[in-house]
């Protein structure tokens, strides 16, 4: 009975390994490149800083969602086509 548990755990780990390999292969096919933890951290910090700056400049109280989207797009420099 003891070996059944270990075989089940091993099969589960092999399944997880296969799924992660599949998704990694698919992502690399689409052009994804692996990044280090430091790069991911810097990008997250930069994105949070940009959002914080945007939120401090834009006053979106009492705006409809459509108006908020338009204001955000104008702030980010996107033009409507």
Q: Which of 25, 10, 59 is nearest to 72 (CA)?
A: 59
Cα separation, 56 vs 38, whole angstroms: 27
Band of pLDDT at residue 76, cut at 50, 70 and 90: confident
CA dist 62 → 59, 68, 71, 72 (Å): 9, 9, 13, 15
pLDDT in tens, 30-70: 888 888 889 999 999 999 998 888 777 777 677 888 888 88
Domain spans in the chain, listed from the N-terminal domain onward: 2-75
Reduce the secondary structure of 27-75 to three states and give it as a string. Answer: HHHCCCCCCCHHHHHHHHHHHHHHHHHHHHHCCCCCCCHHHHHHHHHHH
pLDDT in tens, 16-41: 999 988 888 888 888 888 888 899 99
């Amino acid at each position: 009975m003891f070996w059944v548990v270990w075989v089940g755990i091993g099969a589960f780990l092999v399944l997880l390994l296969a799924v992660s390999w599949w998704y990694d292969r698919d992502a690399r096919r689409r052009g994804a490149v692996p990044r280090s933890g430091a790069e991911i951290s810097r990008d997250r910090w930069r994105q949070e800083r940009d959002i914080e700056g945007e939120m401090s400049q834009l006053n979106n109280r009492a705006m409809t969602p459509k108006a908020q989207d338009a204001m955000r797009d104008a702030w980010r420099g996107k033009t409507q086509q």
